[in-house]
Structure 1
Amino acid sequence: MSGTRSSENKIILIQRKTRLEELVVRYNTIQQAQFYIERLGADFSDYISEDFYYRKAVETAVIELGAVGRVQLLERQHVPNFIFGEQDTVVVLGQDGLVANTLKYLHEQPLIGVNPDPQRWDGVLLPFTVKDLRHLVPEVFRGQRQVREVMLAKAQLNDGQSLYGVNDLFIGRKTHVSARYQLELNGVTEQQSSSGIIVSTGMGSTGWLKSVLAGAAGIVHSAAQLQKASGARTAPAAGRGGHPAGQPVTGADEVYTAVAERLPWDYPNLYFTVREPFPSRTTSADLVFGEIGSQAPLKITSQMPEDGVIFSDGVENDFLAFNSGVEATITLAEKRGRLVV
């Protein structure tokens, strides 16, 4: 029942360090952290306020969840190596990024996103507050809550390693040095040098992908205006790619509007973009944007002797090494995320 504690109902509560806690780790004491922040002219009281409300939210969540099941607190940094049980219910107390970075390590366990401080965070993926938990979680146990499915991206290496992405994958170099690799999609192969490749899911379509395409569209539009003003007869074409189903993209407007609107979280394909491709005698810049479907995976073979990486959702310290000879196959994941709404 909703007010009954059950030993069979295990709840994993994911928490994170606050900015204040991270500063104390770096500077040893609150006093030294305060001195550093205030010396830079920042408001240290905001760090204290954020920490206070987050700690209070954690305490309240533990009480509310403890009334309906067994609670295990888990720090964010331990999530990648934690083994979640098939029947676990996962509660994330934090910002949207923490929801995404937890979801990719689950195997379709339901995830509840909780906003610890609605006055501070908007929280697109955080529809609930800690006060909702006592009544909400028993409904999840009984399968009475609606769940939205989320398509994930997957990078599978030819050495057996793999990595999932909820919003996006990045394939490139750790540094600003150009990445070298071979790209293959729909039977078309190309040698490239670029700042890396971004692969986005439906959930991630309004994030990194949108910003890249907005910049590309703006550049092409401005270049066309300059050519028009100078009397040129044609505008430069956008890079050709595999959108859709291997067809070329011929204009910036088409590129941008392809994903300008938020795609559904269960959108059945992925989009990829190549950042700053550099054409030369040995490299091309034609296959720079496209759609990855279930029958059309993207294959990338590294030509980087060192510092090649694949990471997901902006978490650079959780990565796959992607150096010379390693091949990555980018596809839709075989599993889906499940967000309680």
Structure 2
Amino acid sequence: MLTERKLVVVTRRTRYQELLHKYGTRGQAEFYLRHLGESFGHYEQEHLQLCAAYESVLETARAVGRVQPLERELLPSYRFAPDDIVIVAGQDGLVANTLKYLDAQPVIAVNPLPRAFDGLLLPFAPKDLAGVLRRQLQSRFRAKTITMAQVSTNRGERLLAVNDLFIGSAGHASARYALHSGARQEQQSSSGVIVSTGLGSTGWLRSILTGASAVAGQEAHPELKDGFAWDSNFLCYSVREPFPSKTTGTSLVFGRVDAQTPLRLQSRMAERGVIFSDGIESDFIDFTAGTVAEIRISDKTGRLVV
């Protein structure tokens, strides 16, 4: 053992395990997929490869210190110690989800399946982990700072986002709200508002801007190709499918949120208004009539070892 510090290894269930959880048994899951003309073997093979990668990560970590395996579902209730060494083995989304529950502890992100995961936030392979841990224990590592977004409401609720926030309707109905940006304001009807961090600017925001540019037959938006820096001192908001009418406008559909210009939205929806972060729809804040949401840059930042 090289350290008394605890090593927390964060993973998530494989798709194979999710299928077993849903259908109860392997036989039931296989029957269902075969009925739809899909092979179950693909999920099983992926599961075996991921499990081998996870075990490699755990074995390397155990050679360094005490190890605490942690599944994604337990993140909201887990208490991280200030000196914990945090290792995430999984997809980019798992890294983003983990960062929200930390207090500046640097994250070592490992890509367990490079052929399947893009790995924008996963700079290391399992074989790199031993060297990365040695550098961290010797305080010789580099970490990139990640700006986070936060939303707070007049109901006293608060939510952090590493990639982006969604403010809108829980279904396919139009969202109705008043949008305030600096001294400007507008009543709007749209498919919702996305507020993106630099880290998330190559994700959902990029998708929205790509579609809008293509529909308009224009060159790509300048924020599109490479996004903006992870540690930028601003966020970007974009209104999805804004609808012009006698009572709603479309002049405030894209802009920046910074220390001088927070974004404020007031709900005009009787029901099903929601705010969620990083694509996790199950963890939402109510955004129905009377709710005022203010979006700012969070005082909290993430750190990713590179």
TM-score (norm 1): 0.86
1:298 matched to 2:263 = yes
Q: Which amino acid aligns with 1:334?
A: D
Alignment match of 1:82 (pick from 78, 85, 105): 78
Q: What corresponds to 2:302 in structure 1?
A: 337
Q: Which segments of structure 1 move beyond 3 Å, counting only runs of 4 or more?
A: none
Name the aligned partner's letter for residue 232 of structure 2: Y
Distance (Å, rounded) in 2 between the aligned partners of 1:120 and 1:292 = 34
Distance in 1, matches of 2:271 and 2:153, equals: 16
Q: CA deviation at 1:277?
A: 1.2
Of 53, 56, 74 in structure 2, the residue corresponding to residue 57 of structure 1 is: 53
Partner amino acid, structure 2, of 1:302:
S
What SS does structure 1 have at the residue aligned with 2:53? helix
Q: Does residue 5 of the first structure (1) align with residue 26 of the second (2)?
A: no
Among candidates 157, 179, 195, match of residue 161 of structure 1: 157
Deviation of 1:335 after TM superposition, in Å, equals 1.4
The equivalent of 1:282 in structure 2 is 247
1:71 aligned onto 2:63: no
Asked if 2 retains the 8 angstrom alpha-carbon contact of 1:5 and 1:66, the reply is no
The C-alpha deviation readout for 1:288-335, integer Å capped at 9, x for no partner, is 111111111001111222211111111111111112111111111111
Letter in structure 2 aligned against 1:121? F
Closer, same or farther in 2 for the Cα pair 1:274/1:53, shift >3 Å?
same
* Aligned equivalents of 2:271, 2:176: Cα separation in 1: 11
1:24-69: per-residue Cα shift (whole Å, max 9, x none)? 1111111111111122222221101111111122222222111112
Matches within 5 A, 1:184-333: 184-221=180-217, 253=219, 256-333=221-298
1:232 alignment partner in structure 2? none
Partner of 1:227: none
Q: Which residue matches 1:182? A: 178
Q: Report if the CA contact (8 A) 2:242-2:253 is conserved.
A: yes
Task: State the percentage of identical aligned residues.
Answer: 47
Question: How far apart, CA to CA, are the structure 1 residues paired with 2:237 and 2:110?
Answer: 31
Query: Separation in 1 of the partners of 2:228 and 2:64?
Result: 36
Residues 327, 15 of structure 1: alpha-carbon distance in 2 compared, 3 angstrom cutoff: same
Root-mean-square deviation (CA), in Å?
1.5
With over 3 angstroms needed to count, the CA separation of the structure-2 counterparts of 1:130 and 1:179, relative to structure 1, is same
The whole-number CA distance in structure 2 between the counterparts of 1:205 and 1:147 is: 19
Return the alpha-carbon distance in structure 2 between the equivalents of residues 268 and 200 of structure 1: 12
Task: Report the Cα distance in structure 2 between the residues aligned to 1:5 and 1:168, rounded to whole angstroms.
Answer: 38
Q: Residues 42 and 90 of structure 1: is their aligned pair in 2 closer, same or farther, counting only changes over 3 Å? A: same
- Matched to 1:317, the amino acid is S
1:311 corresponds to which letter in structure 2?
F
Q: Does the CA contact (< 8 Å) of 1:13 and 1:92 recur in 2?
A: yes
CA distance in 1, matches of 2:223, 2:144: 23
Deviation at 1:159, TM superposition (A): 2.3
Q: Deviations over 1:153-199 (max 9, x none)?
A: 11111222211111111000110111111110111111111110001
Partner of 1:136: 132
Q: CA deviation at 1:142?
A: 2.7
Distance 1:219 1:27 in 2: 41
Where structure 1 has 5 or more consecutive residues not aligned to the other structure, the ranges are 222-251
Instruction: Identify the residue that residue 233 of structure 1 maps to in structure 2.
Output: none
SS of structure 1 residue aligned to 2:64: coil
Matched, 1:33 2:29: yes
- In 2, distance between residues paired with 1:277 and 1:122? 31
Query: Given residue 145 of structure 1, which amino acid in structure 2 is its aligned partner?
Result: F
Equivalent residue number for residue 243 of structure 1: none
For 2:216 and 2:117, locate their aligned partners in 1 and report how far apart those are by CA, in whole Å: 35
